Amino acid sequence: MMKDITDISVLIGENKDKMSKGQKKISQYVLNNYEKAAFMTAAALGKVVGVSESTVVRYATLLGFAGYPEFQKSLEKMIHNKLSTISRIEIENCDEKDDDIYKNVFSLDIKKIKQLSDTIDKAVLDEAVDNIMNAENVYIIGLRNSSAVASFLGFNLNMIRKNVKIITSCNESEIFEQMIHISKNDLLIGISFPRYSMRTLKAMEFANDRTAKVMSITDNEHSPINLYSSCNLFAGTDMTSIMESLVAPMSLVNAVLVALSIKNKQKVIEMYDGIDEIFENYSVIGNDEMNMFDDMADIDI
């Protein structure tokens, strides 16, 4: 039977006298950082704690698990159950007759952006912009609820610089195939918010192993995807709302794009001039965009 975090806590207490010094360090880390530990391999957890991979594997066995994968899945299940419980509580407390529900949502989103503005580290933002500017190729991955942020960043970044690739597949093997040529001169931007994506984490680990620069866009410093990144941008999402808000992450990405546009002003101007020429030569405008004033001229008032 799959154990949850309560079972793990009990098992840790029951077996603490049997644990080595290193295994006690693992226990302390797991109890304090189970959200991160759930996404770590045995080797990664051992590295963070300062013990060997084999010590981590023996630790899982000591607690009664068949092996480390079962221990890890137990932590993942615990996170899933925790988030589901929070969502149910919020839905039950939501009053559909509340006339101020829209204003409340807007106010919460404004608060998130204000918090982002007050807490963001400008030096880290500058580092992120420099990393994007200097990379030979930029890879972007964001899956599930983070795919919207990744798509927004990738589409607009492609208007600013060349060699931008959005990794779109949800199949792990296909993700690696799309990254097969990543190297030390490239940058991978991993975007993940709760519930964090293991596939995104694996892609970041792969890029790190290939000595590429790795950058994260996530919700806080405890996010597991920070494990393989050297530049971390944080924008909070509301974990206690019915729907997670991506307003702050979108605002953060927009700020990065604007900074990049200013630093690459001439290239951006040339890019958009080229786009206008393409639209004119290939009659794109008129097929896909509406001219409100021309359309109104045909309307009898």
Contact predicate 169/202, CB 8 Å: no
For every residue of 96-149, DSSP letters joined together read: TT-TTHHHHHHHHHHHHHHHHHHH--HHHHHHHHHHHHH-SSEEEEE-GGGHHH
pLDDT computed for residue 134 by the predictor: 92
* pLDDT tens digits for range 188-200: 999 998 777 888 8
Q: Which residues of 31-52 are buried (b: 16+ CB within 10 A; e: fewer)?
A: eebbbbbbbbbbebbbebbebe
Contact predicate 259/129, CB 8 Å: yes
**Residue 168: half-sphere exposure toward Cβ, Cα within 13 Å:** 7
Give the rounded distance of the alpha carbon of 214 from its chain centre: 12
In the chain, the amino acid numbered 256 is V
Q: Beta strand 213-218 with 231-234: parallel, antiparallel or unpaired? A: parallel
In this chain, the answer to whether the domains covering 5-88 and 111-263 adopt an identical fold is no
The sheet with strand 213-218 has its strands ordered as 164-167, 138-142, 187-191, 213-218, 231-234
DSSP, res 235: -
Average pLDDT in the 96-121 region?
Answer: 79
Question: What average pLDDT does the structure give for the chain?
Answer: 80
DSSP, res 168: -
Using CA atoms, how far apart are residues 83 and 86, in angstroms rounded to an integer? 5
* pLDDT tens digits for range 278-291: 666 665 555 555 55
Q: Is 231 helix (H, G, I), strand (E, B) or coil?
A: strand
For the chain, give every domain's residue range: 5-88, 111-263, 265-301
pLDDT grade for 21, boundaries at 50, 70 and 90:
confident
pLDDT computed for residue 139 by the predictor: 96
Question: 5-88 has which fold?
Answer: Arc Repressor Mutant, subunit A (1.10.10)
CA neighbor of 134 nearest in space, from 189, 183, 187: 187
CA neighbor of 209 nearest in space, from 233, 221, 191, 227: 227
CA neighbor of 207 nearest in space, from 167, 170, 250, 168: 167
pLDDT grade for 86, boundaries at 50, 70 and 90:
very low
Using CA atoms, how far apart are residues 123 and 129, in angstroms rounded to an integer? 10
Residues 6+ away with beta carbon under 8 Å from 278: 284
Higher pLDDT, 200 or 103: 200
Average pLDDT in the 286-297 region?
Answer: 53
Higher pLDDT, 72 or 80: 72
Question: 111-263 has which fold?
Answer: Rossmann fold (3.40.50)
pLDDT grade for 85, boundaries at 50, 70 and 90:
very low
Contact predicate 26/49, CB 8 Å: yes
Average pLDDT in the 269-286 region?
Answer: 64
In the chain, the amino acid numbered 40 is M
The least confident of 119-123, 214-218, 272-276 is 272-276
